[in-house]
Structure 1
Amino acid sequence: MQLQEFRTWMPEIWGRTCFDEWAGRLQSVCGSFNPQPVRETDIVRGGTSVISAAGMEVVQVAADVHAVSREQRDIRLDGREHMFLLLQLEGTCGIEQFGRQTAITPGECILVDSARPVKFHFDGLFSNHLSVHLPRQLLLCEHIHEIEISHRLAADDPMSIMLRALVTKMLHTSATDHRAPHLRQLLLQAIRNAFAPASFEQSAIPNERCEERLELAQVLIDRHLTESALSPHWIASKLGISLRTLQVDFASLGVTVTSFIRDRRLRLARDRLVEMRCGSETATIAEIALASGFNDISYFNRCFKKAFDCSPTDLARN
């Protein structure tokens, strides 16, 4: 399938660079990812570049490496949490996440969660895709139902066509354009609908493995992040485990349950403050704090400054 709207990002001849240089560039723009070269060579055909799409970051990743992975230790290392909307332009990209293995070909789309372990498979074959970096908590918190991660949208799916058209429009829209905030919000809403599951199902009874309990706990936190009832006791009761077991599970991540929830809420507030700065959010800082799950504004201000080394006011204005 020809992707005429993205022909600018599909040159006929790609440059070549050493593997270490390509890997360093990927990590600088996407976070702590671990590329694996093809054994026979340390030369990569392709490149990695950052593009602004109506003020939203889009990264082009083109290469003929063997694989790229992100493990739990990498997530703890850099703390970057985005949803990646992948739009495949050339070749095939295999994605392994949540125990699901999927491959996307030109024109197809998929949603990947950078806050969970993931592996991309290329097997040394050339692949080129655009990765739209989405504010994770902002995308999740304003949707009452689950968003289906690692679900492939076929190239001829109307939702896939719509997402490609929206990204194309954004790629030709400056961050300072008065339409930019509306396009960003439109893209988030379109993604929520495009990746909504066909039917809503309650979470299964958790497995006894720590990793699977943590996965379900994080799903509950993401889904109920702004609700006042969210607490370690509430999560433990939903999972059918003791509070002690829940605390031990989160200790394996090097955090407490309470600090994990607080961090998620701070990231949500930060994303909303950025939207305020860009003109698509009209609430006050106090209203954003309350809407993000903080009832004490002074506590919110202290935690925010400690986490991001600036005050909420500084971020909103500067």
Structure 2
Amino acid sequence: MACASEQEKYQQWLAQINQVCGSFAARPLAGPFLGELETSYARSLKLSTVTAAGVNLFRTRQEIKTSNDAWFYTVFQLEGNATLEQDDKQIVIEAGDITLIDASRPCSIYWHDKSRQISLLLPRQILEQQCRFQEVSCAHKLSRTLPTVQLSYRLLQESMDNAQLSDMESEAALEAMVCLLRPAFQQRETAPPRKERQFQNVLSLIDSHIQSEALRPEWIATESGMSVRSLYRMFADKGLVVAQYIKNRRLDLCAQVLRATGDDEKLAGIGYSWGFADHSHFSTAFKQRFGVSPGEYRKRYR
């Protein structure tokens, strides 16, 4: 990469990547460099189309510290091939394949020859809720021969081509893609370990009593036959806090109700029915999670 103009293109491309996709570092590989980036936002669908050759893009702990890690990158390979690494795993994906990369962990992508791929930002909360916080398999090649992969490609393409897509429809498309790919993303275990079964039982207990005022860590621990300290440790192992999980679960259910009810349903009543006795607290917590107030959220889906 001796040519000054090529070096400038390389730096400009890397700056674009850092602005749109989060903090990455890069190094040149053998052969001519090619780097292009196109961005597209279809409401909840935030994606980038990367065309590259002769470059290695990577993300270390240093880059992760200075970037938002609340995402997974869902990579749809369009042309050529790319080598991806994460968690001591290395895969090569070809046109039509899909893989998942966790933005919170180091990763590396190699483009030796011309390659083109779409990177769809998948919010961590959507995947974790859909997978019930079970481990998801990253840097795992989902072959283009799988019917669910083919359907996901079709859904992505139709969503990108539809300029009239509403917030509700784009969010539904994102969740539908997760539902389609979830079985392949989740690690295959014939029998989950005892701790995992216990965790899933606790989540079910929370869901079945989510509207109860008695739903507190102490009550959950007693009902589950463990100490409060063990309960906290169980959630901490998943990167969660018990009280925060309960609050977010209630807010997610409130959001479902807001999408389905008319303006005659009082906001304070909706919050109260899901465990928020104080409307001001409910409104503040809702805005922190979804970026808008409950009233604005309902208007968006009208």
TM-score normalised according to structure 1 size = 0.63
1:115 matched residue in structure 2? 104
Equivalences for residues 94-173 of structure 1 within 5 A: 94-122=83-111, 124-144=112-132, 145-173=134-162
Q: 1:142 to 1:28 in 2, by over 3 A?
A: same
Counterpart check, 1:35 vs 2:31: no
- Residue 163 of structure 2: SS of its match in structure 1? coil
Report the identity percentage: 19
Alpha-carbon distance in structure 1 between the residues aligned to 2:13 and 2:192: 42
Which amino acid is the alignment partner of residue 164 of structure 1?
A: Y
2:189 matched residue in structure 1? 199
Q: 1:267 to 1:90 in 2, by over 3 A?
A: farther
1:234 matched residue in structure 2? 230
Equivalences for residues 36-115 of structure 1 within 5 A: 36-38=27-29, 44-53=33-42, 55-115=44-104
Q: 1:151 to 1:49 in 2, by over 3 A?
A: same
Q: 1:309 to 1:187 in 2, by over 3 A?
A: closer
Alpha-carbon distance in structure 1 between the residues aligned to 2:172 and 2:109: 32
- Number of residue-to-residue matches in the alignment: 265
Q: 1:140 to 1:46 in 2, by over 3 A?
A: same
Q: 2:131 touches 2:182 (CA, 8 Å); kept in 1?
A: yes
Which amino acid is the alignment partner of residue 64 of structure 2?
A: I
Summarize deviations over 1:251-289 as a string: whole Å, max 9, x none.
xxxxxx75x99599779969x96x99xx9x448699689
Which amino acid is the alignment partner of residue 56 of structure 1?
A: L
Q: 1:297 to 1:20 in 2, by over 3 A?
A: farther
Alpha-carbon distance in structure 1 between the residues aligned to 2:83 and 2:127: 24
Q: 1:21 deviation in Å?
A: 0.4
Residue number among 180, 183, 187 corresponding to 2:173 in the alignment: 183
Q: 1:93 touches 1:105 (CA, 8 Å); kept in 2?
A: yes
Q: 1:60 deviation in Å?
A: 0.5
Q: Which stretch has the larger CA shift, 75-84 or 58-67?
A: 75-84
Q: 1:60 to 1:303 in 2, by over 3 A?
A: same
Q: 1:297 deviation in Å?
A: 6.8
Alpha-carbon distance in structure 2 between the residues aligned to 1:24 and 1:289: 47
Q: 1:237 to 1:132 in 2, by over 3 A?
A: closer
Q: 1:148 to 1:309 in 2, by over 3 A?
A: closer
Residue number among 17, 30, 33 corresponding to 1:26 in the alignment: 17
- Residue 86 of structure 1: SS of its match in structure 2? strand
Structure 2 residues without counterparts, runs of 5 or longer? 1-5, 207-215, 222-227, 262-266
Q: 1:174 to 1:73 in 2, by over 3 A?
A: same
Q: 1:101 deviation in Å?
A: 1.4
